[in-house]
Amino acid sequence: MRYAQITGWGKYAPPLLMTNDDMAKIVDTSDEWIFSRSGIRQRHYSHISTGDMGWMAAEQALAAAGVEADDIDLIVLGSTTPEEICPNTASYIMNKLGATKAAAFDLNSACTSWFYALNAATDMIRAASINRALVIGSERISLAMDWQKRESCFLFGDGAGAVVIEASAEETGLIASKMSCVPDSRECLRLPGWGLSPTHLTEDYFISLDFEGQEIFKSAVKGMFEAIADVLEKQHLTAEDIDLFIPHQANIRIIQTLAKRLNFPMEKVVVAIDEYANTSAASIPLALCDALQEGRVKPGMRILTATFGAGLTCGAGIVKWGDRVEPIATSDKSVAPYEGTVFDLMADSFVHYGIDAKHLLSKG
């Protein structure tokens, strides 16, 4: 039997922070209001592109695995926010890495994109069509925030995470998975016009997130719970057999409700939403990297993951961790810093959505 062991991991968290107190200078909100409803304290906003964030995370993952870019057979980018639809952004990352032998494609299933990409690449390794892959989740969601919508503009942040997976004879990596999509639920979470449509050729482009919180909550918990039940049954396991749970970081209340339904203690759940907010496709690999850095991942652990996104796409998986929990090396790659504040970075966005934030911009 062939398996797809995770041998490397890496992340990129943009240095510019938009705290809840910063958010309150833009919209009518407060740190207490945001944190009590979501568990979010801050979010990272990026001055570099989705592709460059993915490249930075991928460099760290390659170094952690001790693998050269030329050894990679496939690069899959999970993302809702590629800077281009054609050509794909994975090919940009391929060129930045110098991964000259790799195939490259993007996968978009919203917040589930990284998990779906991991599932696809794992199956390709198990089928022996490839031996080694980079699976990346990278999102620049800050570009899609409607600052006139108090109920949703605080929810999302930017960032990237990546893993290297390699063929192995040991039962490691993603050993069970379930992907699904809740019927008739597309309208409760969407970015109308976020893509190619004829209206873009004739009208001003105005992005605004449609977000029906109660419907998303109900469908997300139900969809993830059913997917989790499926993968546990496939492996003849119960929640008590799981060592660590890394869910999609969308809302602390969703995470807590799901853990309660599973009768799973919160001390065994990785929570990173306070640090990053919802980074969509990047949320699980970012949380995984933090769990490894904090020493929460141990050799041989069974790690449960579950996710949902616009569509509403859902999924769950069980990862059997290998022996190594320390990176072989780290990458020294870097990008030029941003010379300004987070308010300078977002100035054009504020203007686009009719927000007067001139008093917050840097002077001179």
Residues annotated catalytic, as ranges: 111, 248, 278
| 227 within 8 A of 315, measured Cβ to Cβ | yes
Pairwise CA distance, residues 305 & 258, whole Å: 12
In 3D space, the residue among 43, 24, 42 whose CA is nearest the CA of residue 150 turns out to be: 24
For residues 132 and 118, what is the distance between their CA atoms, to the nearest angstrom?
12
Residue type, position 298, single letter: K
Residues 6+ positions from 351 with CB-CB distance below 8 Å: none
| Helix 31-38 vs helix 252-262: crossing angle, to nearest 10 | 30
Whose CA is closest to 310, among 248, 225, 256, 245? 248
Give dist(CA 19, CA 31) in Å, integer: 8
Count Cβ atoms below 10 Å from residue 140 Cβ, excluding itself: 29
C-beta pairs of 129-133 under 8 Å, 24+ apart in sequence: 130/73, 130/74, 130/103, 131/73, 131/166, 131/167, 132/67, 132/71, 132/72, 132/73, 132/74, 132/164, 132/165, 132/166, 132/167, 133/4, 133/72, 133/73, 133/74, 133/75, 133/76, 133/164, 133/165
Distance CA 348, CA 364 (A): 17
Which amino acid, residue 146?
D
